[in-house]
Amino acid sequence: MDDAKTAQARAIFLGLQQGKIDRSLFTSDANFYFSDEALSDFKSSLGPLGAPESFKQTRSRLRGGMTGRSYDAKFADQTLRVWTYEMPDGKLEQFQVAMKE
């Protein structure tokens, strides 16, 4: 597991809880996705959860030339699944969050 990538994903997640991202970490497509409206939605849905009790990488895989990584963000009452797809140049093409089933 890649501790630096886990720390980066956690930092991005914490930023989304505040409605902010570091756009330099993302591809132009991902930056287009993270509109002001999307950032506001992330803030309103994730912000009230507070900081996760833990944030751990659970999987890494290659797909279409990208490196995919999955994480579990654990909170007192729920666990969220977070996943990223990273381009060969290190920019993130995707950063997604969903309820863990």
Distance CA 53, CA 37 (A): 27
Tokens (6 digits) for 25: 């970490």
* 66-82 pLDDT tens trace: 999 999 999 999 999 99
* 40-74 pLDDT tens trace: 999 999 999 999 999 999 999 999 999 999 999 99
- The CATH-assigned architecture of domain 3-99 is Roll (3.10)
Tokens (6 digits) for 10: 């956690």
Domain-wise residue ranges, the chain: 3-99
Which pTM value belongs to this model?
0.94
Q: Taking a C-beta distance cutoff of 8 angstroms, is the pair 34, 21 a contact?
A: yes
